[in-house]
Amino acid sequence: MPALRAARAVVSPPPRPYDEDPARLAYYRDLVEPFGTEVDEALLRSAPHVGHTDLVDLLTADDTLRRCAPDLVVVAQALPDITPFTAIGPYLDRRLGGGSTNFGIHQQGLSAPFTALRAIAAFQRAGRSRTAVLAVLEQTTLPSRFPLVHDGDLVDSAVALVLDDGDGPRVDEVVTVPAGEPAAPRAAELAAKDPEGTLLVTGSRFDDAGLTGDVHRYRVEPGTYCTGVWLALAREWRDWQRRYAVVVLCDTDPRSGTSHLAVLRSPAAGEGAGDGLG
């Protein structure tokens, strides 16, 4: 099962200048107008213009990632890049030395990083990966108004997790709760096994009604779509590893209503936990 070895996060990097290239504006029009949407030039001019390659450059700016030599690179995203069809997986692979198997997971909304964990676990079980990098990217420059981004005041953000077969917190289970079903009872069930040793990390849109007051909780602030709980993990995981045997990441996609939970268990946690990553 994948174990967390290192992590890096980027939030609200400095904006980049607007590209006045008419060809790019024409490209955006070709992209959105067939769907009855118009390009909003004022919106574009005021946007940060931090693309996926910029986020990858920032994630790989120090040795945290560059020294990990992954054999597998997975990029997860819920929102498109400034320029769609950019091959970000190979770009990140090259930044990390090259030679890895690499691919992207998108068009799944907030579930993309959770799907990525399942894929990485499958590669490990098949003996096809020892060290993987999972990058979760979120940029907010879009050619037309998108309520989730613009009404939600989302910021550019990115996370990279290094996952290997070491002794860090291991991804023990990934759970999907279909839309229309409450996810809080499943989270409470996981916490009930060890209330003192479990932390529930809930996204800003996760309905935690029904969780009792004696459950340890960390609530993620608004301002992100799919990166929220992963940013919290990247920042706090070492402290959480010292304080809790189990950390459960819980988030809900506002577009689909589907909820997802990822269980990270420290080696000190009780034996006998099953592998729910299939």
If pLDDT is split at 50, 70 and 90, which confidence band does 1 have? confident
Of 58, 126, 144, 121, the residue nearest 95 (C-alpha): 58
- Euclidean distance between CA atoms 263 and 248, whole angstroms: 5
Tokens of 43: 């919106």
Is the domain spanning 170-265 CATH 3.40.47.10? The answer is yes
What is the reported pLDDT for 144?
94
Contact (Cβ atoms closer than 8 angstroms) between residue 157 and residue 138: yes
Task: Say what percent of the chain tops pLDDT 70.
Answer: 96
Contact (Cβ atoms closer than 8 angstroms) between residue 229 and residue 201: yes
- Euclidean distance between CA atoms 253 and 258, whole angstroms: 6
Using the predicted structure, report yes or no on whether residue 275 has a pLDDT greater than 50: no
The CATH H-level superfamily of 3-164 is Thiolase/Chalcone synthase (3.40.47.10)
Using the predicted structure, report yes or no on whether residue 270 has a pLDDT greater than 60: no
Tally of CB atoms within 10 A around 176: 15
Residues near 95 by beta carbon (within 8 Å), at least 6 away in sequence:
56, 57, 60, 65, 66
pTM of the model: 0.93
User: What are residue 252's DSSP bridge partners?
Assistant: 259
- Euclidean distance between CA atoms 149 and 79, whole angstroms: 9
User: What are residue 259's DSSP bridge partners?
Assistant: 177, 252
Delimit the domains of the chain by residue range: 3-164, 170-265
If pLDDT is split at 50, 70 and 90, which confidence band does 21 have? confident
* CA dihedral (142, 49, 108, 235) positive or negative: negative
Q: Indicate the pairing of strand 216-219 with strand 198-202.
A: parallel
If pLDDT is split at 50, 70 and 90, which confidence band does 276 have? low
Using the predicted structure, report yes or no on whether residue 263 has a pLDDT greater than 50: yes
Please state the separation of Cα 239 from the chain's center in Å.
Answer: 20
pLDDT digits (tens, 9 = 90+) for 44-92: 999 999 999 999 999 999 888 889 999 999 999 999 998 877 899 999 9
- DSSP single-letter state for residue 82: S
Task: Say what percent of the chain tops pLDDT 90.
Answer: 85
16-20, 242-246, 250-254: the lowest-pLDDT one: 16-20
Tokens of 197: 């040793």
Domain 3-164 shares a fold with domain 170-265: yes
Using the predicted structure, report yes or no on whether residue 268 has a pLDDT greater than 70: no
CA quadruple 83, 160, 221, 43: dihedral, nearest 10 = -10
Q: Name the percent of the chain in helix, strand, coil, to the closest 5.
A: 30, 25, 45
